[in-house]
């Protein structure tokens, strides 16, 4: 007998996006330069096929068309980010009136179609002038960010009731300061720690500013949670997984939800001599300004084991000094992205949030599958038959449904993403959308099979 998976009537069905990946118009209407615009100017070779952030799916010009299509595909909510450098071109100072007009029009258009805007304030796109001041390493940039957040609350808080301070704040911290994937591509663990601490501080300060305004909404954060599974139940493997979890999940999850930092991580930072600079009142401020709502991005698990070899004491410090990655035999893979597909991980995260984080109100804010060369799957009518994506979502949603049955306070599911978008370094190599974009035909939109599947899901609440 086939089991029905029926979701609550008020479940949030929608998709997620970000300004830099979707808007385009990178140099139009007074938008300032962000770190991606700058990096593409100086090192276009860093980007897949040298496709930069000005060449996206043109949401800036085509938002009305796209929002109408979202409605057609069953969305009742849509998460996007405001571009800091579009709203305030250098990150501080005068507000760009054309940006205000654009975001007002987007929000009004969403509401007119019965779609609630979920608005994120920061998605990897530091204004260039603020990065020149040190980015998240700098206390002055934290202050500029909070001012920017306050400006957004004052301009748009009448219509936006779901705010988020950051999307995946650990990603810029890792990729800008450890692994070299985002500008300025440093390898400096001390700067990494300081940037991470300031990101959390900025989030808490923005939460405080929002709550002071009594605007009647909720403010949260969106975290990419990658559950750390040990190779075995050997104590050394279990300890390695616990440390990996402290570095990559609890470093932001604990202070955001509990207002505290994981002791395992603090102990390592003290032992290795990498504690951040903390000013009087910072810890209390973080403790007293935690999130109302948690967005959870889930793509893949992390599998780890105890260290098998001594590290090079002269090499830069990395978290991997405390564990090795484990290549588990027989794992299911997305070969295009190189990521493991482990659907039960989404259930494990939700149960962890239920049991260890007060069962805070949460939702799946991103889940998705990137695939190369999807035109292989075009049918005679010109539609991409992406059954693999439908299966990916269905198998994850079954575990979300089980989490609901087991008491999780999960309120929604947003796919990544609505329409094929530009990715930070991969451009359009891997496609994620419910809607395809033909770059050779003026970004023509065509709904994929998964888009029609999503519409049925959103309308009926039933897999």
List Cα–Cα distances, 451 to 6, 382, 385, 399, in angstroms.
19, 14, 10, 21
Q: Which region, left, alpha or beta, applies to residue 443 given φ > 0 means left and ψ of -120 to 50 means alpha?
A: left
129 is catalytic: no
How far does the chain reach from its first CA to its final CA, in angstroms?
14
d(CA 153, CA 210): 7
Instruction: Single out the residue of 53, 6, 27 nearest to residue 425, CA to CA.
Output: 53
Phi, psi dihedral angles at 212 (to 5 degrees): -65, -25
Q: CA angle, 36 as apex, 34 and 37 as ends, to 5°?
A: 70
* Residue 346 main-chain phi, psi, to 5 deg: -70, -35
Classify the phi-psi angles of 102: left when phi > 0, otherwise alpha if psi is within -120 to 50, otherwise beta.
alpha
d(C-alpha 282, C-alpha 2), whole Å: 53
Would you say 108 and 147 are in contact if contact means Cβ atoms under 8 Å apart? no
Number of C-beta neighbours around residue 4 at 10 A: 8
311 conformational bin, left if phi > 0, alpha if psi -120 to 50, beta if neither = beta
Please provide the DSSP assignment of 379-415 as one string.
Answer: -TTS-B--HHHHHHHHHHHHHHHHHHHTT--EEEEEE
Q: How far is CA 324 from CA 178, 239, 271, 341, in A?
A: 17, 12, 20, 20
Tokens of 277: 């600079």
Catalytic residue selected from 23, 129, 137, 366: 366
d(CA 37, CA 32): 9
Q: Which residues are catalytic?
A: 366
């Amino acid at each position: 007998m086939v089991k029905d998976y029926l979701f609550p009537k008020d479940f949030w069905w929608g998709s997620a996006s970000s300004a830099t990946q979707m808007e385009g118009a990178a140099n139009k209407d007074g938008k300032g330069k962000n770190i991606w615009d700058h990096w593409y100017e100086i090192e276009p070779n860093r980007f897949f096929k040298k496709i930069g952030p000005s060449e996206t799916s043109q949401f800036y010009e085509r938002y009305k068309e796209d929002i109408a299509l979202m409605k057609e595909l069953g969305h009742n909510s849509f998460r996007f980010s405001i571009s800091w450098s579009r709203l305030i071109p250098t990150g501080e100072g005068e507000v760009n009136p054309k940006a205000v007009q654009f975001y007002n029009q987007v929000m009004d258009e969403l509401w007119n179609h019965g779609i609630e805007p979920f608005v994120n304030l920061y998605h990897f796109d530091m204004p260039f002038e603020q990065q020149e001041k040190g980015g998240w390493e700098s206390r002055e940039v934290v202050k500029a960010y909070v001012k920017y957040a306050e400006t957004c609350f004052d301009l748009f808080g009448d219509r936006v009731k779901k705010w988020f301070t950051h999307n995946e704040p650990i990603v810029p911290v890792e990729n800008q300061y450890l692994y070299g994937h985002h500008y300025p591509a440093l390898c400096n663990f001390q700067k990494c720690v300081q940037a991470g601490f300031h990101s959390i501080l900025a989030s808490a300060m923005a939460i405080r500013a929002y709550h002071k305004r009594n605007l009647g909404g909720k403010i949260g954060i969106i975290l990419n949670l990658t559950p750390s599974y040990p190779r075995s139940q050997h104590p050394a493997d279990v300890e390695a997984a616990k440390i990996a979890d402290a570095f990559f999940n609890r470093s932001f999850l604990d202070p955001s939800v509990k207002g505290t930092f994981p002791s395992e991580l603090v102990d390592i930072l003290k032992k290795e001599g990498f504690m951040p600079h903390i000013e009087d009142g910072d810890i209390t401020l973080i403790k007293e300004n935690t999130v109302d709502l948690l967005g959870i991005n889930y793509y893949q698990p992390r599998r780890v084991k105890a260290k098998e070899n001594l590290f090079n004491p002269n090499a830069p410090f990395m978290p991997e000094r405390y564990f090795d990655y484990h290549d588990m035999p027989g794992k299911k893979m997305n070969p295009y992205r190189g990521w493991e597909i482990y659907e039960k991980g989404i259930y494990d995260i939700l149960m962890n949030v239920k049991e260890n984080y007060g069962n805070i109100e949460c939702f799946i804010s991103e889940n998705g599958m990137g695939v190369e060369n999807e035109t292989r799957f075009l049918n005679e009518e010109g539609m991409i038959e992406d059954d693999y994506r439908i299966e990916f979502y269905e198998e994850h949603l079954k575990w979300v449904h089980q989490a609901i049955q087991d008491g999780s306070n999960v309120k929604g599911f947003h796919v990544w993403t609505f329409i094929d978008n530009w990715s930070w370094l991969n451009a359009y190599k891997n496609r994620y959308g419910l809607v395809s974009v033909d770059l050779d035909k003026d970004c023509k939109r065509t709904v994929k099979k998964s888009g029609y599947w999503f519409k049925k899901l959103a309308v009926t609440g039933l897999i």
